[in-house]
Amino acid sequence: MYTFNRPPSSFHSEILPDVSRSPAHFALAQIRKKHVRYPSQERIWECVREVAVGHALRPLLLWLAYPLVLRRGIALSYGQAMGDAESLSFLGSLKSGTTFPGVAVHLFASIFVGDTVFYWAHRYFHENKWLYTSVHKKHHEFKYVVGVATEYCHPAEDILVNTLSGVAGPLLFGSPVWILVGHIGILLAQSIDAHGGLDLSFPLSCWNVLPYSDCAVAHDFHHSNNVGNYGGFFSFWDSLCSTDLHYRSHLMKKRQAAAAGRTGSK
């Protein structure tokens, strides 16, 4: 793992400017793998064009989803969320998501629901041969992951897996719109990190230090080996269902090789 060998007090004055100026610092954190190649510039530009088209169509999806948002009673403003007198109580504020504890509860619950949807949908898209060949294989054209390919996928997968897992929790709980937007933003930030191909330390990446987080190394293994690690935000479903056995075996072999190397150098 990439770590800074300088005192914490020097981070803002020395390390942060260096990182922002030179990509060489990020090269040190690159996840090494010899069996897959970095994508060509043509493939990356093709990805950028397709993702841009998808983003241009997102407002249409939001417009189509607006009646469902209203039906679920999702508050579109703080005043609307506070309109019910019950919201003034502590339990009411948790339910309405109008206080910091309420926001935290809604976000955690939404992440749990979204991760459950993502894990089982993603796993099914791998285990069903027709779905994998016809739909999900497009996303796995990038065996060497890059951040820009995070949302590079078949339109059906974008709706049934990515979008559905992003909105399932807030719609289920009737969360206010800021929870919906914040939840999608957090998932997107984590997913970009997971597809970045960089094993960054905190504070450049907080996902690599969170317990049971699907960090960059785990998702990089999923793409480069096309097996296991189906979780999105967390990896607990992989642990519970033993779909991370290949990954854990891979990590054990790396640790054993590193230990043998240290022993041989003595």
Q: Is residue 224 part of a domain?
A: yes
For 18-53, how does the pLDDT look when each residue is reduced to its tens digit (9 = 90+)?
Answer: 444 455 556 666 777 777 888 888 888 999 998 888
pLDDT at 58: 79
Please say whether the beta carbons of 106 and 175 come within 8 A: yes
Q: Is residue 44 part of a domain?
A: yes
C-alpha distances in Å from residue 30, one per residue of 2, 27, 144, 198? 9, 5, 11, 5
Q: Is residue 125 part of a domain?
A: yes
- Evaluate if residue 169 carries a pLDDT over 60: yes
Strand partners, 65: none
Higher pLDDT, 21 or 243: 243
pLDDT at 11: 36
pLDDT at 263: 65
pLDDT at 80: 66
pLDDT at 83: 65
Q: How confident is the model at residue 3 (pLDDT cuts 50, 70, 90)?
A: very low
| Whole-number percent of the chain with pLDDT over 90 | 20
Tally: H helices and E strands in the chain: 13, 0
pLDDT at 77: 66
Q: How far apart are CA 128 and CA 224, in angstroms?
A: 19
DSSP annotation string for 73-97: T--SSHHHHT-SGGGGSHHHHHHHT
Q: In the predicted model, what is the mean pLDDT of residues 169-180?
A: 87
DSSP annotation string for 215-256: -HHHHHHHHHH--S---SSB-HHHHHHTTTHHHHHHHHHHHH
For 96-152, how does the pLDDT look when each residue is reduced to its tens digit (9 = 90+)?
Answer: 677 788 888 889 999 999 999 999 999 999 999 999 999 999 999 988 888 888 889
Q: Is residue 21 part of a domain?
A: no
For 205-241, how does the pLDDT look when each residue is reduced to its tens digit (9 = 90+)?
Answer: 777 777 777 678 888 889 989 888 998 888 889 999 9
- Per the prediction, the chain carries an average pLDDT of 79
Q: Is residue 78 part of a domain?
A: yes
pTM score, two decimals? 0.80
Q: Is residue 16 part of a domain?
A: no
Q: Which domain holds residue 227?
A: 35-259
Q: How many structural domains comprise the chain? A: 1
Q: Is residue 2 part of a domain?
A: no
- Evaluate if residue 86 carries a pLDDT over 80: no
Higher pLDDT, 225 or 60: 225
Higher pLDDT, 238 or 174: 238
Q: How far apart are CA 124 and CA 132, in angstroms?
A: 9
- Evaluate if residue 74 carries a pLDDT over 70: yes
Tokens, residue 112: 């749990």
Handedness of CA 97, 102, 106, 111 (dihedral sign): positive
Q: In the predicted model, what is the mean pLDDT of residues 4-23?
A: 41
Q: How confident is the model at residue 242 (pLDDT cuts 50, 70, 90)?
A: very high
pLDDT at 24: 59
Q: Is residue 233 part of a domain?
A: yes
pLDDT at 18: 43
